Amino acid sequence: MDQEKRLKLVKNVAAILLIVAFLCYASPPEKPECPTKVVMDNDGGMVVLNHQQHFDSSGYGLDCFDCHHHFVEDEADITKCKTCHLKEIPETPPEACLDCHDADEIEDAAYPKSKDAFHKQCGDCHKEYGLGPWDVKSDDKCTKCHFKANI
């Protein structure tokens, strides 16, 4: 094979690889049905939840309803927790709460703030299975779940 044919072959292979690379970059993978990890950033520091491990049958095998108590199965988007569970409880509850609750049920700020809701929802399950920081007798027990990002 002479020099000119080799150069033409290299150019063709390079062009094909360039086209394949562009197509791979331009067509992103499908968005998964639910996230593999969820990062909850809050005042106490971020908490990283391995979502896949919690719901996957090879992990804990939880059902969506075990954590998402207002989850509607045929709904495309799950209502975010902070839609109702806010840092501070307002005098007038958010509209989303009234979708499921009667006004007299949530009167007098009966629904928990976000910190209390997460600690109860996550904590009760972890306590039941003996996981997490609830049995730790030290001041750093919060850092078992929460961490500050080193930016």
**What is 91-142 written as a DSSP string?**
SSPPHHHHHHS-TTTSTTT-SPPHHHHHHHHHHHHHHHTT-SGGG--STTGG
pLDDT tens digits along 90-114: 676 666 666 666 666 655 445 677 7
Please report which confidence band the pLDDT of residue 151 belongs to, taking 50, 70 and 90 as the band edges.
very low
Mean per-residue pLDDT for 26-41? 78
- Is the pTM higher than 0.75? The answer reads no
Residue 74 pLDDT exceeds 60? no
Q: For the chain, give the mean pLDDT.
A: 76
d(CA 147, CA 151): 12
**116 contact partners, CB below 8 Å, separation of at least 6:** 85
Counting DSSP H helices and E strands in the chain, the numbers are 5, 3
Distance CA 62, CA 82 (A): 22
Closest listed residue to residue 81, CA positions, set 126, 41, 26: 41
| CATH class belonging to 38-147 | alpha beta
For the chain, domain boundaries: 1-30, 38-147
